Chain A
Amino acid sequence: MNISEKIHDAVSFATERIPLHKFDFYSVVHKKEVPVHKLSWAYYTGGLALFFFMIQLTTGLMLLFYYQPTVSDAHASVEYLTRHVPMGALIRNMHTWGSSGMIACVMVHMLMAFAMKAFERPREITWVTGVLLLLITFGFGFTGYLLPWHQIAVNATKVGLQSIEEAGRYMPGGLADLPRQFREIIQGEPSVGQATLSRFYVLHVILLPLSIFGVLGLHLLSVQLHGMSKGVDQPTKKTERFFPFFILKDFSLWGGAFLILFIVALCLPFESFFSFPLFQPYDALGSTPDGIKPEWYFYFVYYPLELLPFWLVMLGQTVAVGGLFAAPWIFKNTSRRSLSIIAGAAAAYLVISTIFGQAIYEMIKGVH
């Protein structure tokens, strides 16, 4: 095969995945149809994630007006915002609850897309960008957790970063120090401090948003170009026009979600589920307080890390992420039935490790 044939192949691959000639008013507005079947609800999960993303963007921008990213002022500025600024607590609660909502939606969206085999040719790019978006969303969660600079935030971040270093134990002699150096590059200094805060801040408010804009643009564009995947095996007879019927329902759902988010943010501070001393400002010279934990959406990897050998968790994680990226090619010939079973098992694992993780941990380790 010579070079020109290869180029030709690459071009035809790209045009099949991103058929820009379909991107006109007629196909996007008039022709777009949404299949109606018993799994149709899953078509709303992506839109809901987008809604939460917009909430995060707005409230995040508002928080930026008061937040000061230095080790001496970060905690005080967050406290000032929460206690004194009118509606400050509301905006901050909306941001924290919204982050949880966004991650929950993204996870359900991914599981349903998997179960419905939405990654089938020619939708590989939609799927791969979707997995990237999932990772970026987790990145937002991890970097945002540090910013208030209280005990639980800094200590949990320390532990999270330190687990990178664990990998050194499984590396041959000369390379054993690499993970430590890698961690210090992320941190910017030997221990978590101002350099880490600055870096996480930049990641959280500039780099990750920029990258999510790019990836999200590609994701939404390919959804527009290919339309909704049919999602079920037997061809559906009924469809519904995207404009205006589906989008109106989508908007009503967003309205409901906003109402719920608003009420929850108004009545329930996110912190109410932690013991209060953890929200003292970070004390560099004191001992690590009890009960340091990551956010709930990292429990599914946190509890295995606590209970299983490190290499096993790392291996599992690598296989899972690799498998997610390569899903369109690995599961090319898998039936929707089998995919649903796999997605169901994954969902069951996520739910059990998140809700019962602590109980299982205490059962195995003895009460702590």
Chain B
Amino acid sequence: MLNIFLFAALPYVAVFVLLVGSYWRYRTDRFSYSALSSQFLEDRKLLWGSICWHVGILVILLGHVLGLCFPGVWQAIVANRTILLLVEFTGLLFTILCVIGLVALAIRRATSGKLQIVSTPVDFAVLGLLLAQVLLGLWVAIAHRWGAAWAPASLSPYLFSLVTFNPNIEYVQDMPGLVKMHIAGAWFLLLLIPFSRLVHIFSIPFEYLWRRPQKVVWTNPRRFTQAEEQVAVAEDRRVFLRAGLGLSAGVALLGVGTADKMVRYFKGPEMTPEEEGDLLAKKLERLEQTSEQRELELERIRAAYIRVARLDELTANKGKYFTDYQMRPALAFLGSDGLPTLISAKCTHLGCTVGSDLDGDGRLLCPCHVSYFDLKTGAPNAGAPAKSPLGHLGWALMDESGNVLLSQNPSGVREGSADPEALKGAIVCIARRFEEAKA
């Protein structure tokens, strides 16, 4: 029964009284819609008490609101051990700050003689209740560790059930007594707001940040100029404060964003084993390609003959790419006489590699600047960007055991016998001696 009253009835009563009471107070007694300032009467202890308390409670309330309003996100965040420790530590630190502030305020209100005149019983009640509530919270935090992690899980659904007018006290009725007292205390404090100085939480003077400073108009000329100067100084300070706030907010955002990206960039990717495997396979393949290339280079330094292809692998219309002794690209075709035609594939214009397909006129195309080269003569077409012909390469035909059957030097002079039967299955090679002859 008590549970139903405290956790299902009291919340609605409190919120209803809060809304109606606040509205009523605002309509009937607008100038009391704030906390009565006593800075004029005592300002030393107020500085310590008020600032400690307000800074502390703002951070603590922010934590409560975030945790209870966004339980999913919040729990995902505090699932990280380091963050949870950090949150708990921050919470504890600011709770202690609250306690220090409240105690200072209470001592001040109880001991300052001037303050006695303006203090009402409600002021003391507020201080006492707040202190009790904060101490309860502190106690909960110590007695039932890791509230940041467990509280949203059960209290958030409870609040949600209240908001949807479907109150479900099952979420809270079996909580430890301390927790239940803390929750009930919160509802009592809400109830108290419209009847106490607590109402000032609805009248935060944000506009002080941007409203123009108020000017006191004096009839005394000396005071008048003084006031003008003061306003100017205040105006300056206000502009500076605003610009500073904006700038530091911007810089902070930029810093956080950049730092986040930098950290993730340098931390590197987290890849699945599959992705990692693909990546390694690709790297290995590239390394193999490079090693093939290196082997080609080595062969060109050492070998007297380099295999291009078997004669019967060559075709008349599509050339086979290979690299010559200078590691430049070249193409091998089968000529009309059944013997190979080897031609440089490095365009004489700007060194692109020409395509390997012969067009209908028996020409090769360089795709970079559109030059056509005749396969037979190597000459470029008239008006092509390339001016000089592609050179033909000498070749040698070899049998399996490495005997040269027939060879042709770059100028087309042949040596050996061209017996078609013997040349079947012969291997087309380029020969170092033709390179040396050219040089």
Q: Are B368 and A292 in contact (CB under 8 A)?
A: yes
The answer to whether B279 touches A290 (Cβ under 8 A) is no
Verify A72–B265 contact, CB threshold 8 A. no
Selected contact of A159 from candidates B275, B354, B368, CB within 8 Å: B368
A-facing mask of B319-357, CB < 8 A → 1, else 0? 001110011110000000000000001000011111110
B290 touches A72 (CB 8 A): yes
Residues of B within 8 A of A281 (CB): 286
Hey, what's the 0/1 contact readout for B256-275 against A, CB within 8 Å counting as 1?
Answer: 00000110111111010001
B275, A88: Cβ atoms under 8 Å?
A: no
**Structural contact, A88 and B265, CB atoms closer than 8 A:** yes
By a CB distance below 8 angstroms, the chain B residues around A73 are: 283, 286
Bound Cα distance from A90 to B265, whole angstroms: 10
Determine if A87 and B275 form an interchain contact, defined as CB atoms under 8 angstroms apart.
no
Judging by beta carbons under 8 Å apart, are A284 and B293 in contact? yes
Quick check: is B282 within 8 A (CB to CB) of the other chain?
yes
Check A72 against B354 for contact (C-beta < 8 Å). no
Contact between chains at A85 and B265 (CB < 8 Å): yes
A69-91 Cβ-contact flags toward B at 8 Å (1 or 0)? 01111011000100011111011
Chain A residues in 8 Å Cβ range of B286? 72-73, 75-76, 281
Q: Which residues of B contact A84 (CB under 8 A)?
A: 269, 271, 275, 279
Q: How distant is the Cα of A87 from the Cα of B367 in the complex, in angstroms?
A: 37
Contact of A289 with B by CB under 8 A: yes
Q: Does A288 contact B (CB under 8 A)?
A: yes
B423 to chain A, nearest CB (A): 26
B370 on the A face (CB < 8 A)? yes
Q: Please, what's the 1-or-0 string for B176-194, where 1 marks a CB less than 8 Å from any CB in chain A?
A: 0000000000000000000
Min CB gap A157→B, angstroms? 11
The answer to whether B289 has its CB under 8 Å from any CB of chain A is yes
Query: Is B369 at the interface (CB under 8 A from chain A)?
Result: yes
Interface residues on A, range: 35 or more
- Most central of A75, A84, A191, A288 by chain B CB within 10 Å: A288
Q: A287-B353, A289-B367 are in contact. Are A76 and B265 (CB under 8 A)?
A: no
Q: Which residues of B contact A71 (CB under 8 A)?
A: 290, 293
Complex Cα gap A292–B269 (Å): 33
Q: Is A198 part of the contact surface with B, judged by Cβ < 8 Å?
A: no
- Flag whether B134 is at the interface (Cβ < 8 A): no
Shortest CB distance B319–A (Å): 10
Expressed in whole angstroms, the Cα–Cα distance for A255 and B268 within the complex equals 28
Interface bits A156-199 vs B (CB < 8 Å: 1, else 0): 00110011011001000000000000000000001101000000
Interface residues on B, range: 35 or more
Q: How far is the CB of A262 from chain B (nearest CB, A)?
A: 9
- Residues from chain B with Cβ under 8 Å of A72 in the complex: 283, 286-287, 289-290
User: Is B366 engaged at the interface, CB distance under 8 Å to the other chain?
Assistant: yes
Residue pairs across A and B with CB atoms within 8 Å: the count is: 94
Cα A286 to Cα B355 in complex, Å, equals 8
For residue A169, which residue of chain B has the nearest CB? B387
Q: In the assembled complex, which residues on chain A have CB atoms less than 8 Å from the CB atom of B345?
A: 287
B265 CB contacts on chain A under 8 angstroms: 62, 85-88, 91
Taking CB atoms, residues of chain B closer than 8 Å to A163 are 350
Cross-chain contact A85 with B269 (CB below 8 angstroms): yes
The reply to whether B283 and A87 form a contact with Cβ atoms under 8 Å apart is no
Which of B261, B322, B350, B385 is most buried by chain A, counting CB atoms within 10 A of its CB?
B350
> Which chain A residues border B366 with CB–CB below 8 Å?
288
Q: Counting CB contacts under 8 A, is A368 at the interface?
A: yes
- Within 8 Å of chain B (Cβ to Cβ): is A238? no
Chain B, Cβ-Cβ closest to A65 = B266
Q: Is A76 touching B323 in the complex (CB atoms < 8 A)?
A: no
Q: How far does the Cβ of A280 sit from chain B's closest Cβ, in whole Å? A: 12
- The residue on A at minimum CB distance from B319 is A287
| Residue pair A155, B352 in contact (C-beta under 8 Å) | yes
How many whole Å from B95's CB to the nearest CB in chain A?
Answer: 37
Query: Is A363 close to B, CB under 8 A?
Result: no
A306 contacts the other chain (Cβ, under 8 Å)?
A: yes
The CA of A276 and the CA of B327, in the complex, are separated in Å by: 28
Closest B residue to A158 using CB positions? B351
**Shortest CB distance A90–B (Å):** 7
Task: Give the residues from 242 to 297 in chain A that come closer than 8 angstroms, CB to CB, to chain B.
Answer: 281, 284-290, 292
Q: Is the CB of B351 within 8 A of A286?
A: no
| CB of B96 to closest CB in A, whole Å | 39
Q: Give bound CA distance, A365 to B383, whole Å.
A: 11
Bound Cα distance A163, B262 (Å): 41
Within the assembled complex, what's the spacing in Å between the Cα atoms of A193 and B289? 13
Q: Which residues of B contact A285 (CB under 8 A)?
A: 321-323, 329
Bound-state CA distance A87–B269 (Å) is 10
> B271, B287, B321, B368: which has the most chain A beta carbons within 10 Å?
B368
Q: Please measure, in the bound complex, the distance between the C-alpha atom of A76 and the C-alpha atom of B285, giving whole angstroms.
A: 10
Taking CB atoms, residues of chain B closer than 8 Å to A368 are: 370
The smallest C-beta distance from A350 to any residue of chain B, in angstroms, reads: 23
Query: In the complex the two chains form, what is the Cα distance from A152 to B265 in whole Å?
Result: 27
Residue contact A288 to B352, C-beta cutoff 8 Å: yes
Residues of B within 8 A of A158 (CB): 350-352
CB distance from B425 to the nearest CB of A (A): 25
Selected from A86, A165, A287, the residue in CB contact (under 8 A) with B269 is A86
Q: How distant is the Cα of A159 from the Cα of B275 in the complex, in angstroms?
A: 36
Give the residue name and chain of the B residue nearest to A79 (CB): B282
Closest residue to A305 on the B side, CB-wise?
B350
The interface bits of chain B over 287-302 (1 if a CB of A lies within 8 angstroms of the residue's CB, else 0) are: 1011001000000000
Interfacial chain B residues near A292, Cβ < 8 Å: 352, 367-368
Render B356-384 as a binary contact track against A, CB cut-off 8 A, 1 for contact. 10000000001111100000000000000
Contact for B321 among A80, A191, A286, CB less than 8 A:
A286
Listed A/B pairs (28) with beta-carbon separation below 8 Å: A72-B286, A72-B287, A72-B289, A72-B290, A73-B286, A75-B286, A85-B269, A86-B268, A87-B265, A155-B368, A159-B368, A163-B350, A191-B326, A191-B327, A191-B328, A193-B327, A284-B323, A285-B321, A286-B321, A286-B353, A287-B345, A287-B353, A288-B367, A289-B367, A290-B367, A292-B352, A292-B368, A368-B370
Seen from chain A, the residues whose Cβ lies within 8 Å of a Cβ on chain B are 62, 65, 70-73, 75-76, 80, 84-88, 90-91, 155, 158-159, 162-163, 165-166, 169, 190-191, 193, 281, 284-290, 292, 306, 365, 368
Q: Given A86-B261, A287-B353, 6 more contacts at CB 8 Å?
A: A62-B265, A158-B351, A158-B352, A163-B350, A166-B350, A292-B352
Give me the 6 closest cross-chain CB pairs, A-B, nearest first.
Answer: A72-B290, A288-B352, A162-B351, A86-B264, A84-B269, A162-B350
